[in-house]
Amino acid sequence: MMTARRFLGSLVVLAGLFLLFNLLVHQLSRGSLPRKLLRAIRSAPDTELAAIGNSLVEAGFNPGEFSRGWSQDGSNIRAFNAGLGSTGPVEHYLVGRQILRYQPHSQRIVYGYFDFQLTDDGRGPLSEVFANRSISLIYEPDVAAGYLFTNGWSERFFPWLARLPVFVERGSIWAKVERQRRWFGDLGLPRSDSNHFGRAEDFRYLETSTPEDFQEKCRGAQAQRRPITPAVDALFREADGHGVRIYVVEMPMTRRHRDRTYDSDAWRNYNDYLLPLLAQYHAVVISAGDWVPDELFADPLHLGPAGAVEFSHRLGSAIRTLENQRSPGPAEKAR
Amino acid sequence: MNWLLRLKHWLEFLGGATDAVPRSFNGPGGWVLLAVWWMALVGLITLFCRQASKFIYIDF
């Protein structure tokens, strides 16, 4: 017989078990990638140049090779890769704030982007903030909340949800389940190509559906006078305010991606539209889209280790040459 | 075999196959078992919700 007293007793026990579950998740997630990145940033206070971005930067920026490319005249630079997969502008802004705070010698940032990362608004539902995007919940939820959502309810409760490990780290839990699911799904089938980031074929889903859609989006951004994404704007403003030089880098893409997207007047016009917007932060734009041959890519989007060496060396050399030539002024485009 | 019958009765009750409350539910630990069952459901939901999406980024 269920009495009110027994029901309340069950609820109290459930609350206790839920608390224990949260403590367990908190303990198990101490090694999650956002927390590792935070520790890495704090343990590299001598960094002079930090690369920020998503998985394209994480996979493509090799700090050692960048330094070798930079040191053509014998000078050195301590570079740091702060890229993290499956993150967006809001997370990049929060990472940038950590760099400005804990790496006081960082005089330059490299911000790697692809497609419409610089003008897409990036706001979405609360359910999208998981996995590595939990940076927003872990680093500075109060700051992140203002850039993430379109509805006030999510914005208001976000800092409270940040205190609930089961919510913050749910992506880490799902990843473990997903790995098992893929293992079962692959039983009896030919092994699918996969790398550090996941199944190679999956990354085709991230590409724009057709060249026409892509060009339409380029034209739409200009017609609507889209501003720089608010979180990227905040990152660049704070960096510029600290006297940090900003290099905005169009990340290398495969021949297929460039044929379908970048090799068009619409993309070139869109980039020309961005230049005056980026001038307000004294940013230098570097087009590296065609720097790396297809065979050095690990999947349709990410550079493999050899591709990262090729790209980073050339980027280090290009930035050093730019700085030797002149102090970066208003936004300019370099190759 | 008694425990097996009790387990069967509990599973039938939890699964909705019978409405008859197991006798042990009315015992001293019945309400604790109910809380444990609810927690197990919370855990299962946490583990398996959102697992139907076409593409899940795994690097986290």
Tell me, yes or no, whether B56 lies in a domain: no
Both tokens assigned to B24: 């042990």
For residues A133 and A175, is the Cβ–Cβ distance under 8 A?
Answer: no
Please indicate whether residue A127 or residue A258 has the higher confidence score (pLDDT): A258
Tell me, yes or no, whether B43 lies in a domain: yes
Both tokens assigned to B53: 């999406």
| Minimum distance, in Å, between the CA of residue A191 and any CA atom of chain B | 17
Tell which of A23, A172, A178 to mutate to test the B interface (max B CBs under 10 Å): A178
Please indicate whether residue A185 or residue A81 has the higher confidence score (pLDDT): A81
> At residue A113, what are phi and psi to the nearest 5 degrees?
-140, 165
Tell me, yes or no, whether B17 lies in a domain: yes
User: If you compute the radius of gyration of chain A from its CA atoms, what whole number of angstroms results?
Assistant: 22
| Predicted local distance difference test score (pLDDT) of residue B58 | 53
Residue A211 has pLDDT above 80, yes or no: yes
Helix (H) or strand (E) holding A26: helix A4-28
| Predicted local distance difference test score (pLDDT) of residue A185 | 79
B52: confidence class by pLDDT, cuts 50, 70, 90: low
A186: confidence class by pLDDT, cuts 50, 70, 90: confident
What ipTM does this complex have?
0.72
Please indicate whether residue A308 or residue A125 has the higher confidence score (pLDDT): A308
Domain of residue B7 covers 2-48
pLDDT digit string, tens, across residues A87-98:
999 999 999 999
Tell which of B41, B49, B57 to mutate to test the A interface (max A CBs under 10 Å): B57
Tell me, yes or no, whether B10 lies in a domain: yes
| Predicted local distance difference test score (pLDDT) of residue A201 | 67
Classify residue A331 by its DSSP letter.
-
| Predicted local distance difference test score (pLDDT) of residue A79 | 96
| Minimum distance, in Å, between the CA of residue B7 and any CA atom of chain A | 18
Break chain A into its structural domains and give their ranges: 34-125+205-334
Stretch A288-306: mean pLDDT, rounded?
94
Q: Please give the CATH number for the structural domain made up of A34-125+205-334.
A: 3.40.50.1110
Task: Count up the domains in chain B and report the number.
Answer: 1
A205: confidence class by pLDDT, cuts 50, 70, 90: low
Q: Round to whole Å and give the CA distance between A24 and A36.
A: 18
* Segment among A94-103, A168-177, A235-244, A264-273 with least mean pLDDT: A168-177
Residue A152 has pLDDT above 60, yes or no: yes
Q: Which residues of B touch A (CB under 8 A)?
A: 21, 26, 30-32, 34-36, 38-39, 42-43, 46-48, 50-51, 54-60
Place of tokens 């493509």: A60
- Cβ separation B31–A85 shorter than 8 A: no
Stretch A51-61: mean pLDDT, rounded?
95
pLDDT digit string, tens, across residues B7-26:
898 889 888 898 888 887 77
| Predicted local distance difference test score (pLDDT) of residue A284 | 95
Query: Measured between alpha carbons, how far is residue B11 from residues A17, A134, B20, B38, B46 in Å?
Result: 21, 37, 11, 14, 22
- Cβ separation B56–A7 shorter than 8 A: no
> At residue B49, what are phi and psi to the nearest 5 degrees?
-70, 155
Stretch A163-181: mean pLDDT, rounded?
82
| Minimum distance, in Å, between the CA of residue A263 and any CA atom of chain B | 28
* Segment among A49-53, A111-115, A121-125 with least mean pLDDT: A121-125
* Sign of the dihedral defined by the CA atoms of residues A276, A278, A282, A283, in that order: negative
pLDDT mean across residues, chain A: 89
Tell me, yes or no, whether B53 lies in a domain: no
Residue A130 has pLDDT above 50, yes or no: yes
Tell me, yes or no, whether B40 lies in a domain: yes
Stretch A273-301: mean pLDDT, rounded?
95
Tell me, yes or no, whether B57 lies in a domain: no
Tell me, yes or no, whether B58 lies in a domain: no
| Predicted local distance difference test score (pLDDT) of residue B60 | 42
Residue A287 has pLDDT above 80, yes or no: yes
Q: Which residues of chain B make contact with A206, given a CB cutoff of 8 A?
A: 55
